[in-house]
Structure 1
């Protein structure tokens, strides 16, 4: 057995064995600029009230915008959207290049063509180690058909159905 405090790389590798979906979370900064990033820490919390959560690394360039926003949107990516995931994980200046958006609740940019989209009120923020945990109240959502983009063992995966 390994101790995560002494072997953070092994701990991270072990966590990577849990397959997660890939999302892009977007909002508007106080100055009006679009802010977004790729997140795989998304999870449901409650059906009544409808709550979801995700986390952001402390010190992230996007931290101030997400702390201050009234709303954000969580976009669940489909299997064909690996390039979009990489784009929103890349340099901050290029994240919205070529991406068509419309304004959602609180001005949060909405990306078309995702498997699901959740527009959330920025309800609760918790400190969690080296991350900030956001719990959002879902005010609107939509879904479509398709297979999800997954992340497992340090790489992108899809679902193979029989």
Structure 2
């Protein structure tokens, strides 16, 4: 059988969205909380596991957000955000920022970044990003951030696998 190397459109999927989601859950991902500020000065944050590096020079990272997310206009319109990479003991924080509650930051320890955005205490790393570009793809928007400042703490990482949180054990 000869395979074509020419570009063509994708075939329709041979699976449903439930099966696809189950297959995706087998890939362990790190867990982040993305933070920014609302126009009234209050803070906005959400849990995301769609974080990845893009480039070292310039320093670029990416994450994605559902196009229907209520926070989409804020993240699309703001010049900066902070990506907080959660440490192994922060599963409760990941759950808190994934729920619909009035003030996700109430009782949460943080300091302000150079641009006045929350850097959560106890994270294993953080990236303060300029909102460089956005790419709508499927039902999400991919955000590419240019990292202006970052920090790291040698801690275990929080990961999400098979629908559950776990902490890594550094070797």
TM-score class normalised by the smaller sequence: over 0.9
TM-score normalized by structure 2?
0.88
> Which structure 1 residue ranges, 4+ long, deviate > 6 Å from structure 2?
none
CA contact (8 A) 1:21 1:148 kept: yes
CA contact (8 A) 1:58 1:130 kept: yes
Deviations 1:64-122 (A, max 9, x none): 11011111000000110001101100114131111122322432222111000000000
Match of 2:44 in 1: 35
Gaps of 5+ in 1: none
Alignment of 1:1-162 (within 5 A): 4=13, 6-160=15-169
CA distance in 2, matches of 1:159, 1:4: 33
How much has 1:5 moved relative to structure 2? 6.6
TM-score normalized by structure 1?
0.93
SS in 1 for 2:47: strand
CA distance in 2, matches of 1:49, 1:92: 36
Cα RMSD between the aligned structures? 1.5
Tell me how many residue pairs correspond in the alignment.
160
Deviations 1:107-138 (A, max 9, x none): 22221110000000001011011001100000
Report which of the two has the higher share of helix.
1
Of structures 1 and 2, the larger Rg is shown by 2
